[in-house]
């Protein structure tokens, strides 16, 4: 079949394209440029890598700009969340709003039946006639967290060729196939920020409002540069010297009403832990909640990529989810995405509110 592969210039998407070509498919590589600003990201070098890889594999390739769509659907939301004092994850939204929306639309217009990516994840159509998002073989690299809000329609067109491989196996395949990026370092962080200072970047879009750093008891211990620059559980960059027991200071709360950053000493401060939480804007991959209103479901959850799966009990009310944790969770942060799992399957995801 004809398959479009979203290619980043990295080893994972390169091997995904190689494996599909080797299987005899009609493969087309597409490189997305989602951010238009000089000196940001590594898009020029990445596209050069895509060209080199596609030449080795023997497939056609294109470069396409979704910068406007990214700005409208992802980055504007990113800024709004920071404006509200929350900590968003734009990568999750990018998958739903750009890769499996704009890029998928382009793939279909090129006559493709499927859109493949280098994600470590799996997809399977089961007896219920629905498509299920499955965890990858390499648990350390599993990326279903970033895909947890894709829709049933999007997943029906998705392919993840790397699901049965580990990362070392992927690099070995790339090396043996002569793929030039087999040793390329994995990208980290948010693309549009790149190697720049996060505070400096954010301040060009949102005006900072400095304020006091206070203890839970209300004692002023320092000044913050703007609540948007901090997240729960953060210990670096607070600029507070050791006091009393000399334990490190950690952010435990944002007082938005009074523009105060609340801190406490000790990595194990009980103020950093919660036994329950809430989330909103839930999206379920099957098309509907996994539990009826008023009923409870015991499942697993992940609040950040690579976090070990946590035991939770959830109740669903419309698009809102109430969560009870079997073990108190540390620094669950509003704006973060929580992904829900049952056995080998990712059920969906929601945005943490508290």
Active site residues: 94, 191
DSSP-derived secondary structure for 141-205: T--GGGGTT--HHHHHTEE-TTTT--HHHHHHHHHHTT-TTTTPPPP-S-TTTTTS-HHHHHHTT
Measured distance between the N- and C-terminal CA atoms of the chain, rounded to whole angstroms: 45
Distance between CA atoms of residues 264 and 248, nearest Å? 8
Q: Please name every residue paired with 321 in a beta bridge, in sequence order, or none if there are none.
A: 279, 316
Backbone angles phi, psi at 272, to 5 degrees: -85, -10
Q: Which residues, including other chains, have CB under 8 Å from residue 218's CB and lie 6 or more apart?
A: none
CA distances from 210 to 217, 257, 259 (A): 20, 13, 8
Angle (nearest 5°) at CA 306 between 302 and 312 = 20
């Amino acid at each position: 079949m004809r398959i479009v592969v979203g290619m980043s210039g990295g080893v994972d998407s390169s091997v995904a394209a190689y494996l599909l070509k080797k299987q005899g498919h009609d493969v087309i590589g597409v490189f997305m440029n989602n951010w238009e600003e000089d000196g940001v990201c590594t898009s020029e070098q990445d596209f050069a890598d895509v060209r080199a890889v596609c030449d080795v594999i023997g497939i056609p390739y294109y470069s396409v700009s979704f910068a406007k769509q990214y700005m409208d659907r992802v980055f504007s939301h990113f800024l709004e969340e920071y404006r509200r004092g929350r900590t968003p994850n734009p990568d999750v939204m990018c998958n739903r709003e750009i890769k499996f929306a704009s890029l998928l639309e382009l793939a279909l217009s090129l006559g493709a039946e499927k859109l493949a990516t280098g994600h470590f994840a799996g997809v399977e159509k089961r007896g219920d006639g629905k498509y299920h998002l499955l965890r990858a073989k390499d648990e350390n690299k599993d990326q279903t967290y970033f895909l947890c809000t894709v829709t049933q329609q999007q997943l029906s067109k998705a392919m993840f060729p790397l699901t049965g491989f580990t990362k070392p196996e992927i690099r070995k395949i790339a090396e043996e196939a002569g793929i030039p990026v087999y040793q390329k370092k994995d990208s980290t962080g948010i693309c549009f920020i790149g190697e720049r200072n996060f505070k400096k970047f954010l301040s060009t879009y949102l005006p900072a409002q400095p304020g006091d750093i206070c203890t839970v008891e209300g004692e002023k211990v320092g000044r913050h540069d703007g609540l948007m620059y901090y997240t729960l559980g953060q210990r670096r960059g607070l600029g507070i010297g050791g006091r009393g027991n000399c334990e490190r200071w950690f952010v435990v709360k944002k007082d938005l009403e009074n523009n105060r950053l609340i801190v406490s000493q000790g990595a194990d401060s009980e103020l950093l832990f919660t036994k329950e939480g809430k989330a909103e804007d839930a999206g379920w991959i099957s098309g509907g909640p996994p539990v009826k209103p008023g009923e409870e479901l015991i499942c697993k959850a992940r609040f950040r990529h690579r976090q070990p799966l946590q035991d939770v009990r959830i109740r669903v009310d419309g698009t809102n989810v109430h969560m009870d944790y079997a073990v108190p969770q540390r620094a669950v942060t509003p704006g973060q995405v929580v992904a829900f799992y049952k056995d080998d399957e990712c059920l969906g995801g929601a945005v943490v509110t508290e």
